A and B are shown apart, each in its own frame.
Chain A
């Protein structure tokens, strides 16, 4: 009969091997989980970018030069682009999708937000030194005000017909 100590050694070696195998398993699993979580995070990050298309447009607008419209158009103001980027993310975090964005001839950036139901819309026009919001209801002439972040709720209520 083998000595108890040899059993212990065998068991210890077996245990060590098992632990090592389990350790490797855990490591492999946690690596998979990590990479999957990164993938999930990236996709969530991109989905949170419900305004990711607009952000891509803004990135393209930032490379426009003078005369970009073939007619003396000024390049988009860096300040306007920055503000537009900020609003994209802010509105995106609130689940508000920007319908479209376009550069203007005076360096402004226009953001077009449309109601999910109905035909109302709000345009936010960002210049280098000021910003305006235009509330558009097809049944009447649009109205324009200076735009301030604090007024966002007012525009959302307008879009929701409240």
Chain B
């Protein structure tokens, strides 16, 4: 797989990292809110994820006191007519990095769907 490849296999598992401010990004039942899957302004519509088989729990979460992880199948962005593109860091710090694109600024459908399609990812079920 090379940088820029589009992931067409719907069974590829993707990992999304979310920040842990006041636990608001988690629903009371522990599932992800749609805001977990909303790109930041600097992302320009490209939502960062890791390919699970190319990373480890520790590498993806970095700091479990600061972040938590959700996982979902690649079929979810495909269903939303988005593409997942392999995008490893140029400096080699993250060879699992990929992006789901393009999620428009006011697109709240894709984040809602991806959130519903995800489950919480812990060290136990990684």
Contacts and interface: CB of A to CB of B under 8 A. Distances in A.
B3 interface: no
A130 B106 CA distance: 10
A49 interface: no
Interface residues of A, number: 33
A68 B66 CA distance: 12
Contacts, number: 80
A37 to B, nearest CB: 33
Nearest to B27: A100
Nearest to B67: A70
A123 B24 contact: no
B116 A136 contact: yes
Interface string A40-74: 00000000000000000100110010001111111
Interface in A85-144: 99-106, 110, 112, 123, 125, 127, 130, 132, 134, 136, 138, 141-144
A64 B21 contact: yes
Chain B residues touching A, majority SS = loop
A52 to B, nearest CB: 14
B92 interface: no
Interface of B: 19, 21-22, 24-25, 27-28, 33-35, 38-42, 66-67, 79-80, 105-109, 112-113, 116
14 contacts: A57-B22, A57-B24, A99-B27, A102-B25, A102-B34, A103-B24, A110-B35, A125-B34, A134-B34, A136-B112, A141-B79, A141-B113, A142-B113, A143-B109
List the 3 closest pairs (A to B, CB-CB), nearest first. A69-B19, A102-B33, A105-B40
